[in-house]
Amino acid sequence: MQSDNPTAAILVIGDEILSGRTREGNAHYLSQVLNSIGIDLREIRIVADDHDQIVAAIRALDKSLGGAWDMLFTSGGIGPTHDDVTADAVAAAFNVGIEINEEARRVMTERWQSRGVEVTGNRLRMARIPLTATLVPNAHSAAPGFHIGNTYVMAGVPAVFRAMVEAVVPDLPTGRPSVSEALEVLRPESDVADGLREVAEAFPELSMGSYPFQRGQRYGTNLVIRGLDGARVTQAMTALRERLAL
């Protein structure tokens, strides 16, 4: 699909994702949000709780560091335990120091004290923020994320992640949301491949995909056309129906 929208990547961080212990849902949620505001998600990458892997991924994905995409959103690894190494890795990627952020400490301490929660060193690890970064508010549980360069660093806990996404969306550069139309046909994918290819060649600015399914003993295909111009998407779908004699 041809697009002049801002681009983005998502970096999911966590051994528990790679082991299969935790089902990843944050990238799925964020992909829908980005699409709705006209940001083209171009890549999703998953890495372990490994300092060097995280540094390498951030540098490869954040355009402000010479990486590929306009924006990078990370999920996971900013909690209170020893394996939460994302903040340190981000600081290393940007070649800055890291220390307790006093605003983060204040917000977190006030919330904990109001609930009778003890302020411990482990909890205060979540207030360690790379220098020059700005905080991403967390309306769910106070411990903030942060924004540095073109990277938005957010928690892995789904409810907290969503609260942070809600906080950053209003300030993101946006483009044109994509429009899509879908067609379900009870034909195997091989039977519709030629027609889909011909329509794709006639509408090169659009994205077209085929997704096979089985329903009982019958095989079918979902055909999806996406683009930024709704009128062109409709024209392409009309042409596809005609080509498939539907």
Q: How many domains does the chain have?
A: 2
Last residue of some domain: 171, 200, 217?
171
Domain assignment present for 1: no
- Whether 112 and 203 map to the same domain: the answer is no
139-159: pLDDT as tens digits: 998 999 999 999 999 999 999
**Mean pLDDT over residues 1-15, rounded?**
95
Range of the domain at 57: 7-171
CATH number at residue 138: 3.40.980.10
- Give the contacts of 90 (CB within 8 A, at least 6 positions apart): 54, 58, 74, 130, 133, 146, 148, 151, 153
- Whether 52 and 102 map to the same domain: the answer is yes
pLDDT for residue 122 is more than 90: no
48-83: pLDDT as tens digits: 999 999 999 999 999 999 999 999 999 999 999 998
Domain assignment present for 192: yes
CATH number at residue 199: 3.30.70.600
Of residues 14, 28, 9, the one with CA closest to residue 67: 9
Q: What is the pLDDT of residue 127?
A: 95
Enter the DSSP assignment of 69.
B
Write down the pTM of the prediction.
0.93
Question: If pLDDT is split at 50, 70 and 90, which confidence band does 21 have?
Answer: very high
pLDDT for residue 108 is more than 80: yes
6-10, 107-111, 198-202: the lowest-pLDDT one: 107-111
Question: If pLDDT is split at 50, 70 and 90, which confidence band does 191 have?
Answer: very high
Q: What is the pLDDT of residue 29?
A: 98
Enter the DSSP assignment of 178.
P
Q: Alpha-carbon distance 77 to 87, whole Å? A: 8
pLDDT for residue 246 is more than 80: no
Report the mean per-residue pLDDT for the chain: 96
**Mean pLDDT over residues 162-191, rounded?**
96
Enter the DSSP assignment of 177.
P
Burial class (CB in 10 A: 0-12, 13-18, 19+), 183: middle
Q: What is the pLDDT of residue 121?
A: 85
- Whether 157 and 69 map to the same domain: the answer is yes
- Whether 202 and 85 map to the same domain: the answer is no
